[in-house]
Chains A and B, each alone.
Chain A
Amino acid sequence: MDNAKIDTKSNLSRLLNQLSLGDNISECLTCGACNSRCTWFDGEGGPIPRQMVRMAALGLDDKLVESGMLWDCLICNRCTQGCPMGITMDIIVRRGRSLGIAAGQIPTDIEKGIKSRLETGDVNGLTKEEFVETVEWVSEEFVDEVNDPKAAIPHDKKGSKFLYLPNPRELGINLLHLTAMGKLFYAMEETWTMSSFHTDVTNWGYFVGRDEIARKIASMVVEPAENLGIQTLVLSECGHGYHVLKFLLPELIGRKPKFDVKSIPELTLEYAKKGVLKFDPSIHPYKIAYHDPCNIARKSGCYDAPRQLLDLCCQETVELNPNREDGICCGGGGGILQDSTSTKKRKITGKPKADQMKACGLKHLATACLSCHRQLGELSNHFKLGMKVDTVASLASESLIL
């Protein structure tokens, strides 16, 4: 059997014991509560949260990296929710991933994505010119669709009230989603814009746990946004993007940004409450279940806004069980969805979610994250659940009364 030496001065121990606020890993009671709550449940392989915490606490960096658990973990913090000491798994895992010795484990896709994001501003490597071209083309389509020459999907317009930060997929394979969002802004009757300087809501620096990268990417959002003088940064539906930009941003850049941050469902709901936006729920005459993206719900505390918005534009919102704080990760969290080699693995990590989807017995499911959206759709196909998966904002856009 292998032998390991405790080293409380290991790199990881040092990184983790600097933390305040109950995240000091040495506080672990070894109570085992986390083990029972891992999204992998009784799936084979995968992370065993208490072992990760203990290896980190005892400075067994090598062992932790060797175990492979760091990149199996979905960073969903489901285990954390049950921890009596409030020990936060996503911090432990991300710090672990950031270790030099773990560098070889970073999925190639994520490494590439970070590189092109830092170089071009977009994970898929979309250049500024390509961005402008794409957005202007979508804008034309959009004018036709709403049949109003004044309508537009504007970019780089200074002094706009809102700045919309899209998901890279909205500029690639899911352009329709961008049009749908444009419709919502159009109906709000406010000034809005996109920016060719930063085309992306994602921040993969978060997945690799490298604060300096996450900070750089975040600044690529904050600086142009502040230069444009906008009031509110509006995030496309993206889980980790939301968590980083709404929840971690001040800590990351060391100050408060000069704008508010809201997700598109949050903003839409706000305008619906003001009476500006009106919806016709009969467009979606069915019951629909809602999946809580871990990063938005458990990790950032936003539970109600997406549900309320769904209530306005569908017949009825139904809960999956368990939900909210105890919601089950789609199985694509922690960067695994961004790794194209993980398709098979995602069927294992997503099994508990698929079971839950099946148990609700419905044909429709909504979520507020485009990554979850993709994973859930794939689960529905793979497990033959026959469920149609939509994002909350696109449903809202569909039932919008113009």
Chain B
Amino acid sequence: MKEKSPSILILGGGVAGMAAARSLKNQDLSVHLVEKDDHLGGKAALWACMATDTCKNCGACLSQEMARQMIDQNNLTTHLKTKIDTLKKTSKGIEALLTSGTTITADKVIMATGFDAFNPAQLTSLHWKDHKNIITTAQLNTLIREEGLNNLLENAQSPKIAFIQCVGSRNKKLKKDYCSQVCCKISMRQAQKLVHNIPDAQITLFYMDLQIIGKEIRQTLNLLSKQINLVQGIPAEILEDPDTHTLTLVTEDITTQSRSAGQFDLVVLSVGMESARDMNETTTLLEAVPNDWGFFNTKDAIVSKDLYIAGCAAGPKDILTSNQEGKIAGAKILEDLDLAEKPDINVAILGDGPQADIVTQAVAAKGYPVYIFSTTPAAKAFDMKPAQDNPPLSNIKLTRSKLTGSKLNRSKLPRSTLTGAKILAVDGTAGNFSIHYESRGKKENLTCGAVIAALEPCSTPNTGKGEFQTAMDLNTFSQISPGDLPEKSLILLDYFGPEFKSSARQALTVALAARKAKKEITILMNKMLVHGALGQRHYDQARTADILFLRFNTPEDIKIQPQARGFHITLKEATLPNFELALECDCLVLPQSINARGKFETIAKILRLPLDQEGFLQSANVRHRLIQSHRKGIFFTGTCHDEIDNHDLKTEIQEILSALATLDSPHQETKVTIDEKKCAKCLTCYRICPHSAIILNEKMRPQIMANACFSCQLCLSNCPAYAIESQGFTNDQIADQVTDQVVIFACERSCALAAENIVLPEKTQLITLPCACRISCDMILKSLINGASKIIISGCHEGNCRSMEGSTTARSTINAIAKMPGIKADIIRWEPVAANETHKFWRIISKA
């Protein structure tokens, strides 16, 4: 008799819960997703789209798409508006009685119960409850989503708006001595959205330490610092004029040496995250013990057997990281149930720095044969010395070493270096890549199932020049045993631009060790990055250990004079504007600057994947982050693609490993095919396929690789010979669906989802397309002939398209049509609508 398939209970239908459920699809399991609300998607589903002219990479709209996918998952039962009544451990498993009366006996439980927003009523002096123009970031979200902001501001002329950061976080008195990780990002995005929606708004953002972490946030900061006031120091009290409802915030006025009052029309409290209130019961029932904060992100939290924790239940984090944790939890369960697969593939790793070494070891430990493409000629395994300015990547050298077996000893990692090898091209897709390279003048070929880019970015030392001639590199400083360090050292952060998280972390760690050895340490910074579960605690520890922290506003506030021995520094300290401080130190320590500086251009070209705005690998598009790309089977990890510390690196590796396990199962089918008879071999499709899913076969004809195709249909709408087909999706077939006057062609991942629960007005019709890029002149003209008098094409915001350029392509098609003779100006237009922009969609169609 076949044993009953194992049962998995997932508590919480937010992003983490859904991601976990999805990672269990196609398995012989019965998965139960229990959600207390009447919708899936959790808090993210209520979040507004932060796009301005382009997507701001918040990830909120993904929750809508994920929720949609849950419906089609065969092994999944979703229990909405349901809570856990009782939970008990029995010999058969964990028996859960749901409030609906159903009993589930689960083999494994995933707790993905999310978080609650901090209730600012606890901080009485903020008067959140009393004054109508004080709202939280969550409320602002609702206002943006429902397009109600102007009502609140009563259409005030150049409204003055303030954001106050760290409300309910980083607060020892409230026993919340942690950074909530996301609120800086949220406020920065919201501020940007407000600037976009209300161009004459005057916005001030008061912060404690802006957490500028991650590719999109560094970009946001660059723009934002020109658009709004960023002020260090957070007001803890809001005063209201009872008649005008104008709000007053008092801050230090460094110019007049007193306090000054700023008037605002709206104050937004950037509230932190706390553990979900109704999680507590569940943890008790499952014999799990969270830490003092109510989370599971420190070592003292106890997670019981058969329980897995993902998302914000584990600790504060953003949407993309919750998604990642959900996937990892699912993968762990498969592994623990012995259901995980290990496909028979080779894995190629690009890079040979310390991060690549860690990746190599982890992948090899899983039993995959690993091939390392190194960037330095004679890479010594796990040599932690600072990476040198590496030679350009066109000279990628190949280190071929086949690693099998699971017991790996770091020092024994076998490696041999082939000199003169150079990658020429990476063809193919997940499960079946072929890496063409040249070695010793010979062209060679490596077949592998996945490619992991784990290159080191450029780390440029800041020491050794100008006034820093005799300064010491932070890496060098870290290697000296604390006892041998100079008596008085000063670590200077943020001097050459916002420090990367890893450098800030390193500085704190070293400083603490030096302090233990009774050395005097000063850290001079613009801001402290307290990101990560224990970030704030480390910072607190450092201050109580008498590490001196000084703050500067701009580098001009610091004057550095090297002395015969050590340094003399004059500083205009940010909190003490009345006088200058004179500092002496034996040793001035500087972290290296991390940047991409043209380093990844070649490899990006070879991988046929775009770089982000700063030149790091991987575009900021959330459809494929955190670790994937729009070429299936190509992964990124480490600082070559984002700001990553050691903890993040570990998590990324876990996600990659879980993705490897499901790489080729099951085989995906595409509905798109090329009709050889019609194909003119112009190779347009081969050139334009955003996912590199079209290869040239032996007959030098274009051929679609089913597994790599995302069915965006860009090739279809662009094939001049109409040789590419998709069942039921010819231009005629689409145009024939037109029956009404107003026609919306909607991308199935954005606009169509936003429109899902809307009853369309009369004479309005919505036709779903796989991607906005599916439209073509032919199709639009035919639709007009078929009776449409107004056509709206709606897809993702730019930068959010899964096929990268779909929205841009659609727009240029529209522009081309609009220029055609006989086409009236307002007959056809483009409207980006994200999946969570239902209100916006409604506004668009009701005005159409």
Contact = CB atoms under 8 A, between A and B. Distances in A.
B570 A3 contact: yes
Interface stretch (A44-52, A97-105, A160-168, A181-189): A44-52
A54 B234 CA distance: 16
A85 B173 contact: yes
Interface stretch (B402-410, B575-583, B605-613, B797-805): B575-583
Contacts of A37: 125, 236-237, 250
Which DSSP category, helix, strand, loop or mixed, fits chain A's interface?
loop
A54 B546 CA distance: 13
Given A41-B250, A54-B575, A359-B242, A27 B544 contact: yes
Contacts of A82: 125, 236-237
Given A32-B233, A322-B124, A51 B546 contact: no
Contacts, number: 150
Interface string B489-515: 000000000000000000000000000
Interface stretch (A4-12, A236-244, A303-311): A4-12
B811 interface: no
A326 interface: yes
Contacts of B260: 42
A213 to B, nearest CB: 30
A181 to B, nearest CB: 33
A81 B174 CA distance: 12
A373 to B, nearest CB: 25
A270 interface: no
A324 B124 CA distance: 10
Contacts of B125: 37, 81-82, 322, 325-326
Nearest to B250: A36
A30 B235 contact: no
Interface of B: 124-125, 127, 166, 170-174, 206, 208, 232-237, 239, 242, 249-252, 256-261, 540, 543-544, 546, 548-549, 551, 570, 573-576, 578-583
Contacts of B574: 30
Nearest to B581: A4
Contact of B173 (A24, A36, A83, A322): A83
Contacts of A32: 206, 208, 232-235, 251-252, 575
Contacts of B576: 51, 54-55, 58, 60, 63
A358 B613 CA distance: 56
Contact of A38 (B166, B242, B259, B579): B259
A206 interface: no
15 contacts: A1-B580, A4-B582, A8-B548, A29-B170, A30-B208, A30-B549, A30-B574, A30-B575, A32-B575, A37-B236, A40-B259, A41-B239, A41-B250, A43-B259, A326-B237
A2 B578 contact: yes
A283 B614 CA distance: 76
Contacts of B249: 36
Given A2-B578, A51-B575, A54-B575, A84 B250 contact: no
A51 B581 CA distance: 13
A67 B578 CA distance: 9
B84 to A, nearest CB: 35
Given A3-B579, A50-B233, A84-B171, A27 B543 contact: yes
A173 interface: no
Given A3-B570, A82-B237, A83-B173, A31 B548 contact: no
B580 A27 contact: no
Contacts of B582: 3-5
Contacts of A191: none
A6 B548 contact: yes
Contacts of B540: 27
A198 to B, nearest CB: 37
A34 interface: yes
A76 to B, nearest CB: 13
A325 B237 CA distance: 12
Contacts of A45: 257-258
Interface string A251-278: 0000000000000000000000000000
- Residue among B127, B170, B173 facing the most chain A CB atoms (10 A cut-off): B173
B431 to A, nearest CB: 51
A315 B581 CA distance: 58
Contacts of B261: 41-42
Nearest 9 pairs of A and B residues by beta carbon? A32-B233, A82-B236, A36-B235, A33-B236, A2-B579, A84-B171, A42-B261, A35-B252, A36-B250
Contacts of A54: 573, 575-576
Chain B at the A interface: SS class = mixed
A176 B250 CA distance: 42
Given A32-B252, A48-B258, A84-B174, 6 more contacts: A17-B546, A27-B543, A30-B233, A31-B234, A33-B236, A84-B171
A358 B232 CA distance: 33
A46 B253 CA distance: 12
A363 B88 CA distance: 64
Nearest to B171: A84
Most B Cβ at <10 Å: residue of A3, A35, A45: A35
Nearest to B130: A321
A125 interface: no
Contacts of B234: 31-33, 36
A58 B548 contact: yes
B578 to A, nearest CB: 7
Contacts of A285: none
A22 interface: yes
Contact of A33 (B172, B235, B256, B581): B235
B579 A63 contact: yes
A26 interface: yes
Nearest to A31: B208
Given A3-B579, A27-B544, A45-B258, A50 B173 contact: no
Nearest to B256: A44
B250 A22 contact: no
A86 interface: yes
A34 B236 contact: yes
Contacts of A55: 576
A136 B59 CA distance: 81
A4 to B, nearest CB: 5
A8 B580 contact: no
Given A45-B258, A48-B259, A86-B172, A30 B551 contact: yes
Interface in A66-112: 67, 81-86
A43 B261 CA distance: 9
A84 B548 contact: no
Nearest to A38: B259
Given A43-B259, A84-B173, A29 B208 contact: yes
Contacts of B543: 26-29
Given A36-B251, A54-B575, A63-B579, A26 B544 contact: yes
A54 B208 CA distance: 15
A205 B576 CA distance: 30
Contacts of A85: 172-173
A359 B171 CA distance: 32
Contact of A51 (B127, B239, B578): B578
Nearest to A24: B544
A50 B234 CA distance: 12
Interface string A359-375: 10000000000000000
A45 B257 CA distance: 7
Interface in A104-130: none
A324 B125 CA distance: 10
B259 A42 contact: yes
Nearest to A50: B575
Nearest to B176: A84
Contacts of A30: 208, 232-233, 549, 551, 574-575
Interface string A323-345: 01110000000000000000000
Contacts of B575: 30, 32, 50-51, 54
Contact of A26 (B232, B252, B546): B546
A229 B282 CA distance: 57
A84 B170 contact: yes
Contacts of A86: 172-173
